[in-house]
Amino acid sequence: MIRSTLRFAPAALLAAMTVSATLVCAQQQVPPAPPQEPSAPAPSSAPTFPKPDPARFTATSPSKDLVNAFLQASWGYDDSRIWQVQAIMKTTVEGISKVIVVVADKTGKQKPAALQFLALADGKHIIADNEIIAFGEHPFAENRAILQQRADGPYRGSAVKDLELVEFADFQCPHCKEAQATMEKLAVDFPKARIVFQNYPLPQHAAARNAAAYGACVAKLGGNDAFFGFASTVFDGQDGLATPDGATLTLNSAVTKAGLDPAKVSACVATQATNDGIDASIKLAQDLNINQTPMLLVNGRMVPIGGAPYATVKQVIDYQAKLDGVAK
């Protein structure tokens, strides 16, 4: 399992990104403020940041304004979070700059914490905590465009993609099962959103790929409503996927409950087209550098939702919709 809580992981702090290169079924909070060491009773006023030293701004790129715009896009959903750019310095490699930011919260309950990352010469990426992350005033735009073109899973809600919530999930992942309550609430609270289920079966789950293929065939033969009924049943009976016989019974029962013929769905599952479709969905997740399930992408912005408080997930979606100028 990967780390279940963040201990000042810059990649997640910056862009709600993944934090491990290993595919896992993991629980991860939506990006929190940097955790602090225990200290004396907290002050009641906002912290005072150290005055930046002009001598530490030796790089011409990125500009301080661009760094702040990037952080505003990444962190602006949290009204309590404040930060200050402390340095943008040249490095020994031409075009690569070292950026240092101090982060805290307005209440003063936490001590300021330092964050640093490397801004790359292309002006479009940074490296933080061994992750390459999109950078800029609109850091999620490229992911959004990729998803609008390639996210082809069953969906509910709007047919248009102005506000697109794409869930990458594995039917055998326990945290994906837990996250379905969040997805149901989102469908109610964001009726104008297009909510897509994208298969991402993880290799350590023996029944996950077959379950994904069954789901794809249910969607193909019965439509979106049949798929979401099937998915709900499979997640509810997830324990049955633990053995080959149990998986067969669980999947066929879910197919029947969705109103379809298990024999026809089984025949569909065996086709090359279905197998290719699952491979394409996995490739999409890999191209987006998604390394854990469940992962929700909100107009391209990654939000780990396994165990994340619903209020925080909703807050992030509200903010991203505002940034993109779309109706909720």
pLDDT digits (tens, 9 = 90+) for 10-67: 334 444 332 222 333 433 333 344 444 444 454 557 788 989 999 999 999 999 999 9
The predicted-structure confidence for 236-273, as pLDDT tens digits, reads as follows: 999 999 999 999 999 999 999 999 999 999 999 999 99
Query: In the chain, which residues fall in CATH 3.40.30.10?
Result: 142-316
Residue 301 pairs in a beta bridge with 298
Containing H/E element for 183? helix 174-189
Q: Provide DSSP, 84-132.
A: EEEEEEE-SSTT-EEEEEEEEETTS-S--EEEEEEE-TTSSEEEETTEE
Does the pLDDT value for residue 89 go beyond 60?
Answer: yes
According to DSSP, residue 233 is labeled H
Closest CA to 255 of 290, 288, 229, 286: 229
Lowest mean pLDDT among 18-27, 135-144, 213-222, 271-280: 18-27
* Predicted pLDDT at 235: 98
Residue 4 has pLDDT above 60, yes or no: no
CA distance linking residue 217 with residue 213, whole number of Å: 6
Mean per-residue pLDDT for 158-168? 97
User: What are the Cα distances from residue 139, in Å, to 12, 94, 143, 181, 196?
Assistant: 14, 23, 8, 29, 21
Stretch 106-115: mean pLDDT: 86
Phi and psi at residue 255, to the nearest 5° = -65, -45
Task: Determine if the peptide bond prior to 294 is cis (ω within 30°).
Answer: yes
Virtual CA dihedral for 32, 203, 223, 225, nearest 10 degrees? -40
How confident is the model at residue 35, as a pLDDT?
46
Architecture of the 142-316 domain: 3-Layer(aba) Sandwich (3.40)
Give the pLDDT of residue 46: 76
When the pLDDT of each residue in the chain is averaged and rounded to a whole number, the result is 88
The pTM assigned to this predicted structure is 0.86
CA-closest candidate to residue 84, choices 106, 66, 104: 104
Q: Percentage of residues in the chain with pLDDT exceeding 90?
A: 80
Predicted pLDDT of residue 44: 58
Better pLDDT: 114 or 24: 114
Tally the residues of the chain: 328
Tokens representing 194 are 């297009």
